[in-house]
Amino acid sequence: MAEPLLQLSNVETAYGRSQVLFGVSFDIAAGEMVTLMGRNGMGKTTTVRSVMGLTPARSGLIRFAGQEIAALPSYRIAQLGIGLVPEGRRIFPNLTVRENLIATASAKNSAWTLGKIHALFPRLAERAASIGNQLSGGEQQMLAIGRALMTNPKLLILDEATEGLAPLIRAEIWQCLMRLKEAGQAILIIDKNVEALIRIADRHHMIERGRIVWSGTSHELGRAPELQHRYLGV
């Protein structure tokens, strides 16, 4: 059996004396789309920050592409092939769309080029010369995804993938992620849109107060509305 692309085992993370994650364990295979779901403040973003080395885990194992990464600085983790679309997008507000994309481009022979990003998000081609802070929320999210893809990631992580977006733009983001999945891109998604996540993701993990309390397939989650109500408030 192939080793997972990303593996977390008994990860514990704290902010000072306040522990947030308690023995978090899950994995993602190459080409798999996996979700991390839970109410606000339950540890989703802290899990992502632990993976990226932004808030290093106190204990436990984090392996990516066969390498232990828990002790590495964030820039090295990104260089290994993890592309992050952070909550709030955090694009460069004073750079153009084109400059935002080029700023993060992999120096290696990348599968992702400006042309491919424009094919995925035609709106970014139309707004190529626009300054980042002139974009709508939906356009900023497209740019944040495109910027992460330009790093040529083995794993793409999206924290609050469609939060605050209009329904039409949200549907466009889901369609884009489905195309990425079909192309073999491994993806970890945090989002509150359970219906869409069940439709496009392979497996799901629910987190409650820093612990993984349920894991299963889309089929299993779709047949368990009581789980959605208990852990997601749906």
Condensed to tens digits (0 to 9), the pLDDT of residues 159-203 reads: 988 888 888 888 989 999 999 999 999 999 999 889 999 999 999
In a domain, 174, yes or no: yes
**pLDDT above 70 (res 1):** no
Residue 105 in domain: yes
Question: What pTM does this model have?
Answer: 0.92
Lowest mean pLDDT among 90-99, 192-201, 214-223: 90-99
The residue with greater pLDDT, 63 or 131, is 63
The mean per-residue pLDDT over the stretch 103-132 comes to 82
Q: For residue 143, what are its two tokens?
A: 């740019």
Residue 221: enclosing H or E segment and its boundaries?
helix 218-222
* pLDDT attached to residue 3: 86
| pLDDT at 83 (0 to 100) | 92
Greatest C-alpha distance within the chain:
48
Instruction: Give the CATH number for residue 59.
Output: 3.40.50.300
Q: Residue 165 carries which side chain, given as an amino acid letter?
A: L
8, pLDDT greater than 90? yes
Residue 1 lies in a domain: no
Determine what percent of the chain is predicted with pLDDT higher than 70. Answer: 97
Cβ pair 109, 152 in contact under 8 A: no
The answer to whether residue 12 is domain-embedded is: yes
Degrees to nearest 5, angle at CA 48 with 28 and 2: 15
Q: What is the pLDDT of residues 55-85, one digit of tens each?
A: 999 999 999 999 999 989 999 999 899 999 8
**Residue 36 maps to a domain:** yes
Mean pLDDT rounded to a whole number for the chain: 89
Q: What are phi and psi of 65, to 5 degrees?
A: 50, 40
Domains in the chain: how many in total?
1
Is residue 116 domain-resident?
yes
Question: Where in the sequence is the domain holding 27, given as residue range(s)?
Answer: 6-232
Write the single-letter amino acid at 207.
I
Structure confidence at residue 20 (pLDDT):
95
Query: Is residue 24 assigned to a domain?
Result: yes
pLDDT at 60 (0 to 100): 95
pLDDT digits 0-9 by tens, 22-57:
999 999 999 999 999 998 889 999 999 999 999 999
